[in-house]
Structure 1
Amino acid sequence: MSYVAGHRHTTVQDHVALVEIDLTGELMIAAAASSEDRLSPDRIDEVLDVDGDGREPPGEPA
């Protein structure tokens, strides 16, 4: 008789990984909709909703 592993139900979620997957999906959608070969750094910042200047906002820890 051979052993077949059953499907495990898990409730553990890696929230950071889920956010990263979502952001990657947003970048893929933007890239697919773009007529250019590559997304510009400004467009990537826009899609990811970041400032893009590499500095932390005032009052935020670095």
Structure 2
Amino acid sequence: MADQYDVTLEDGDLLVEVELTTNLIIAATASDERLSVEEIDRILGVSPA
């Protein structure tokens, strides 16, 4: 009989958001100056409009 309380919870969108935030934190920590908007867009994978 399966345990009804043994549930794996995973939120794919949340995992992606955590990864993007982590990438921004790493880049900001490694930089001596503030990140430019262009650098942030590049890190997040945002294409210029």
TM-score relative to the length of structure 2 = 0.78
For 2:46 and 2:16, locate their aligned partners in 1 and report how far apart those are by CA, in whole Å: 14
Distance 1:10 1:42, change over 3 A: same
Distance 1:25 1:9, change over 3 A: farther
Following superposition, the deviation at residue 10 of structure 1 comes to 3.2
- Any gaps of 5 or more consecutive residues in structure 2? none
Equivalent residues, number: 45
Structure 1 outlier segments of 4+, above 2 Å: none
Partner of 1:22: 19
Aligned-residue CA RMSD (Å)? 1.5
- Any gaps of 5 or more consecutive residues in structure 1? 1-7, 54-62
Q: Equivalent pairs: percent with the same residue?
A: 47
Following superposition, the deviation at residue 12 of structure 1 comes to 1.9
TM-score relative to the length of structure 1 = 0.63
